[in-house]
Amino acid sequence: MKLLENSSFEAITSGLQLLTGSSRIFGRVESYSCKMVGPEKSLYKKLNFEHGHNPSDLQALSPPENKFGVSPSNVSYSRSLSGDEEGGGSLCDVISRKALFHLISTLNASFPDYDFSSAKAEEFSREPSLAVVVANIDTYLSAAAGEQYNVLRNTLWRTIEDEITPKECDIYRYNPDLQSDPFGEDGCLWSFNYFFYNKKMKRIVFFTCRAISVNYNMLRLDSGSGQEFSMELDEDYMLGLEEEVDM
């Protein structure tokens, strides 16, 4: 995957570094080309051709999470694992091995300190509609950041529209196991990770966000553990927390 330069996304990412009364929010929006680079070609061959696999083979995804009262029951988005939409086989959402590889490669590119190569299809879900995704993201960020997010919201969705045309995308969500990835850190209140995959454009927009408890960070400072935060808190924020602890 190749990270595509986008000054608008860089500005939005800067705006998604938010400090609220109870949490610090770290959000990023990035655009990637699905063109394979470097070691990805070898990994692609290993994952897709060993043991007789084919890139077009389908794998079952997990069902989408039903958050905030949003019900996908009236949305037709499931297909049979056998590929027969008229019947036969258990109904579930599926993804090709090639598309799954693109999602995993995006995670590896976005979080270079972690290795997602062994991630399974069941750790991902396909979202029923763009409206559900927008509602989920807006609910998370509006509840956590209120007006700070509201002033950014229109620019955020307009920029995503200009970059990827989300109505033409398959939208996936990564649901991590919270054991061996960036989202299982102590003090993490919630996180979301959405992929807007436009097959025609061969491009993915990745929207990742997590909220870290301010109270947890202050307890770490007060304990004098000496351990560095893995969440890359900026210096101004750290100084502010230290001043609060000293008061």
CA distances (Å), origin 76, targets 50, 68, 73, 91, 176: 33, 20, 8, 11, 25
- How many C-beta atoms lie closer than 10 Å to residue 215's C-beta? 11
Six token digits for residue 187 = 């003090």
Predicted local distance difference test score (pLDDT) of residue 48 = 63
Predicted local distance difference test score (pLDDT) of residue 50 = 63
> Which ranges of the chain would DSSP assign to H, the alpha helix?
7-15, 40-49, 97-110, 130-145, 147-164, 214-223, 235-246
Task: Give pLDDT < 50 ranges for the chain.
Answer: 68-90, 219-247
3-state secondary structure of 191: strand
Predicted local distance difference test score (pLDDT) of residue 7 = 96
pLDDT 10s digits, 22-51: 899 999 999 999 988 777 777 777 666 666
Six token digits for residue 124 = 């991902």
Predicted local distance difference test score (pLDDT) of residue 182 = 76
Return the sign of the alpha-carbon dihedral for residues 71, 105, 230, 159: negative
Angle between helices 130-145 and 147-164 (to 10 degrees): 150
Predicted local distance difference test score (pLDDT) of residue 59 = 87
Q: Domains of the chain (ranges plus CATH)?
A: 2-215 (3.40.1000.50)
Check if the beta carbon of residue 223 is closer than 8 Å to that of residue 215: no
Q: What is the pTM of this model?
A: 0.78
